[in-house]
Amino acid sequence: MSLLDTDGVRATVTGAVATVTLTRAEKRNAQTPAMWRALAETGRRLPGSVRVVVLRGEGASFSAGLDRRILTPGGIEGEISLPGLARSSDGELDATIAGFQEAFTWWRGSDLVTVAAVQGHAIGAGFQLALACDLRVCAEDARFAMRETSLGLVPDLGGTHPLVSLVGYARALEICATGRAVHAEEAERIGLANLVVPLTDLDAATDDLTAALLAAPREALIETKALLRSAADRTYDAQRAQERAAQARRLRDLAGLGE
């Protein structure tokens, strides 16, 4: 089933799996506000039956970051440029960036597991889109970089929280402050990548992971994701209490005693 095919984003659903594909291969999937609107709309259209969402990029690169035209005064036709955005009121500026962020937030929903299949460049907004997903399967040629600081900007598309959660504050600061490339081998070693495979095996490895995720009962996976997502924000004893409550719900559900 086709959900959407517009502005460089194609989304389809097959059974319990949705596949979201960036389709500006000729531009290395450089991102635009129109793409962000399409990604946000994809999240709104997802059927409740979807359990796993796979994010891919067509061509040689997952996403090379922002379409650089947005940084120029002329911008992209029909879109606000960043220099133009700077002249907005505080409220308008905040609301516009919040709108951009909507493309990056729904991937973390508790009722889904999201997987990014990353090849080639994942730079800036591309890096942050990969970070928006729960899991990352990477080809050996994958290269992550956060270049915003070198442009005088900051990463503002929701990427700073998961980056620190994955690699820690000091390494996250070093990656962002220097803008250097993190190659696939290092990405796996420091926790950015769950798996690194040859480029020719990327699709198969992603499909295998998707199948493994679907093998677990949905409600158990939802409860487990919620426990893990919030564990760092709780004390050990508070987390144990959450585990007990979640297990009580699962036991009652399995016994046919759920609400």
Q: Which residues are catalytic?
A: 148
In eight-state DSSP terms, residue 143 is: E
Phi/psi of residue 124, nearest 5 degrees? 55, -115
For the record, the structure tokens of 157 come out as 């598309």
Judged on CB neighbours under 10 Å (0-12, 13-18, 19+), 255 is exposed
Amino acid in the structure at residue 184: A
User: Do 196 and 184 contact (CB within 8 A), yes or no?
Assistant: yes
247, amino acid identity:
Q
Cβ atoms 59, 26 nearer than 8 A = yes
Residue of 186, 168, 166 lying closest to 228 (CA atoms): 166
Instruction: Please tell me whether residue 102 adopts helix, strand or coil conformation.
Output: helix
How many other CB atoms are there within 10 angstroms of residue 136's CB atom? 28
Q: CB atoms < 10 A from the CB of 140, how many?
A: 16
Beta strand 135-139 with 52-57 is unpaired
